[in-house]
Amino acid sequence: MRTPSSSAGPTTAGATTAGPTATGAAATALSSEARNLHWLLTNLVEEVPGILSVAVVSSDGLLLLSSDPGQGAERPAAHPKGPKGSSADLATIVSGLCSLTIGAAKLMDGGGVKQTVVAMEEGSLFVMSISDGSLLGVHATPDCDMSVVAYHMALFVGRAGHVLTPEVRSELRQSMEGAR
């Protein structure tokens, strides 16, 4: 595993920063904040062993940013792709799981939900709040180091939370619609 860079992202104005795992050509016309989020997502996918796919989801369940399951880091043959279907499927799962856990926390007087982990025979699903109801969802291999995945998700959330303003969320949403 490579050691992640301590920089908060690219700083060159006008540079294309979306890597091969970001949503592609649509990233070239984005603001520096949106490009930095693409860069952070790309680093998360490339730096953390076992991650299959990643989705950033708005509070209303819309996909804002995702890894491209077909072009990420090498994947084990037993786990050649992320969730069945599209990145929108991962966004739907993340949004629904978040709603369920928030309801459970309210019923149990458990306070706010910080993170949700679902360990399955053939993979793991992690969901973490970013800001204003936005969510980070990660689908990983069953043999991933859960503490490493959770740690890197927390780093992403810490770096992305203040950048994910309503304006940037709108910009990302439009870029995802344009990429279809």
pLDDT per position as a tens digit, 98-129:
999 999 999 999 999 989 999 999 999 999 99
- Asked if residue 25 has pLDDT above 50, the reply is no
Reduced to 3 states (helix: H, G, I; strand: E, B; else coil), residue 6 is coil
Position 180 scores a pLDDT of: 59
Residue type for position 149: V
Position 151 scores a pLDDT of: 97
Mean pLDDT score of the chain: 79
Position 85 scores a pLDDT of: 53
Q: What is the mean pLDDT of residues 1-22?
A: 40
DSSP-derived pairing of the beta strands 63-66 and 51-57 = antiparallel
Distance CA 12, CA 74 (A): 29
Distance CA 85, CA 88 (A): 8
Q: Which two tokens stand for residue 62?
A: 């819309």
pLDDT band at 86 (very low <50, low <70, confident <90, very high): low
* Per-residue model confidence as pLDDT tens digits over 41-64: 999 999 999 999 999 999 888 999
Better-scored residue on pLDDT, 141 or 85: 141
Neighbours of 118 (CB within 10 A): 13
* Per-residue model confidence as pLDDT tens digits over 126-139: 999 998 789 999 99
Q: What is the mean pLDDT of residues 12-23?
A: 38
Position 22 scores a pLDDT of: 44
CA distances for 66 relative to 3, 27, 101, 130, 159, angstroms: 22, 12, 22, 14, 16
pTM, whole model, 2 decimals?
A: 0.76
* Per-residue model confidence as pLDDT tens digits over 63-76: 999 986 443 334 34
